[in-house]
Structure 1
Amino acid sequence: MWEEGDFVSKGTLIILSLMSMGSWYILITKLIDQAKIMKQSKETQAKFWKASSIAAGSAQLKEGSPFRFIAETGTKATAHHDGALLEQIDLSTWVTMSIQRAVEKVQSRLQDGLSFLATVGSTAPFIGLFGTVWGIYNALTAIGMSGNASIDKVAGPVGEALIMTAFGLFVAVPAVLGYNWLVRRNKSAMEDVRSFSADVHSVLISGAMSTSEAGRAAGAKKIG
């Protein structure tokens, strides 16, 4: 098939092969990333909330952990709520916005590559069908030029052309199944991330308010 095909058939086959390899690469790497996040979620529950503070809990988490990233983002937002413009936003809103941006970055990283799987799943069958149509056209043209239209002369080239459609489906089906599977696993992972971010937000706000109230009380005593 490769030796007898023209540049269009070979190009179609190469495109489908690249799409298949890309799909499997993304599927495997995203599964590894999701497994890491789920493992880090369990470690966070076991270590983070036993620490004396958010900063101490963050230090116990691994570098690159999305949970550490969210905790550090919230801590920085609480500590750097200053400046003429930022002071116009109340602390709770500022911390909420900062943590929400961190969560969105984690979600964006989890979703990297999923659009490629969706594209492969939706286009690979049509690319394979194009290869089949082109192959049948060339086969019928060659048969017409030879003047021999017997069934054995037609069946061989047409059968080879149909392989392209089968190959397109072979590429598309794993991509679609992998996409749906990864989306479901992403939802599960993001539930843990959002739950953690909400808890961190509550702890940071309650701690900041307690510190602020203590400062005002100390100031009132000095004045008195």
Structure 2
Amino acid sequence: MPYHIPPTAIVDGTLYTLLAFSIATWSLIVFKIWQFARNGIHNRRFNSAFWNASDIGAAESLPVLTARGPQARIARRGFGWLSEMRATSAQALKFRGSPEELLGHALRLQTQEEQRALESGLTLLASIGSTAPFVGLFGTVLGIMHALHEISRSGSASLDVVAGPIGDALIATAVGIAVAVPAVLAYNFFGRRAKQHRQALDNFAGSFLHLVFNVDGARE
């Protein structure tokens, strides 16, 4: 046990670690709020333009400013797959099989990519939420051990001697809990939002597949 290290250095090191956790947490919260808001705006704009298009060709030729966001990228993936299949006359091995199933697979791959982007950072939030209290507790335990060592060495157990060092050590636990709470709340909130977005993307991919293969004149 490195008793030569001052208790304040241990507590301060723990607090700086928790400060880094807090900065990472709030940076991720701000980024995820911006990400979900941006994707929501782009999806609503694209959805309106896509389903108000006169036909598949018009939907495929939507302006770049309108064709942004996860749903637009899924549609581009689908249109790109269809164009490649027509260009190669479906002779490549990757086009062997049911076109509907193959296109559905391509759309699912793009949906999974969009989902991974939406869920990026959530693992870090969960890790901070689960470890921050223990980091604070670690600093508290070491701080108290040092404080008790100093008390035993001084031979005095008066309130003035005991309260100060132990009170300072307990600050680390309080800060650890304060850092963990917003991280856990943010993880739960954005996890639910990501699930809702995934459902919306799955619904759009299914509707796109139905449009391509079941609407009259859409399938060649």
Do structure 1's residue 5 and structure 2's residue 13 form an aligned pair?
Answer: no
**Structure possessing the higher radius of gyration over alpha carbons:** 1
Q: CA deviation at 1:12?
A: 1.7
> 2:175 pairs with 142, 167, 176, which one?
167
Aligned residue pairs, count: 209
Indicate if the aligned counterparts of 2:43 and 2:70 stay in contact, CA closer than 8 A.
Answer: no
Question: Which residues of structure 2 form unaligned runs of 5+?
Answer: 1-5
Partner of 1:78: 82
Corresponding residue for residue 126 of structure 1: 134
The 8 Å contact of residues 11 and 143 in structure 2, kept in 1 or not, is answered as yes
Report deviation, 1:45.
3.0
Separation in 2, partners of 1:116, 1:179: 9
RMSD, matched Cα: 2.1
Tell me, yes or no, if the aligned pair for 1:54 and 1:75 is still in contact at 8 Å: no
Farther off after superposition, 44-53 or 28-37:
44-53
How big is each residue's C-alpha offset from its partner over 1:195-216, in whole Å with a ceiling of 9 and x where there is no partner? 111111111223698644xxxx
CA distance in 2, matches of 1:107, 1:55: 27
CA distance in 2, matches of 1:208, 1:78: 16
Q: Does the residue aligned with 1:149 lie in a helix, a strand or coil?
A: coil
CA distance in structure 2 between the partners assigned to 1:196 and 1:142 by the alignment: 66
Q: Do the aligned partners of 1:55 and 1:75 also contact (CA within 8 Å) in 2?
A: no
Structure 2 counterpart of 1:204, one-letter code = V
- Specify the code of the residue in structure 2 equivalent to 1:89: G
TM-score under structure 2 normalisation? 0.87
Amino acid at match of 2:209: H
Alignment correspondent of 1:191: 199
* Residue matched to 1:219: none
Question: Does the 8 Å CA contact 1:133/1:161 hold for their aligned counterparts?
Answer: yes
Distance in 1 (alpha carbons) for counterparts of 2:15 and 2:116: 32
Inter-partner Cα distance in structure 1 for 2:149 and 2:57: 73
Match of 1:222 in 2: none
Q: Which runs of 4+ in 1 moved over 6 A?
A: none
Larger mean CA deviation between 79-88 and 185-194 belongs to: 79-88
Shift of 1:53: 3.6
In structure 2, the CA distance between the partners of 1:46 and 1:117, relative to structure 1 (3 Å rule), is same
**Paired residues for 1:80-99 under 5 Å:** 80-81=84-85, 82-99=90-107
Q: CA deviation at 1:142?
A: 1.3
The share of aligned pairs that are identical, in percent, is 35
Q: Does 1:69 align with 2:77?
A: no
Once the two structures are TM-superposed, the CA of residue 35 in structure 1 deviates from its matched residue by: 1.3
Amino acid at match of 1:148: S
Structure number with the higher helix fraction is 1
Partner of 2:33: 31
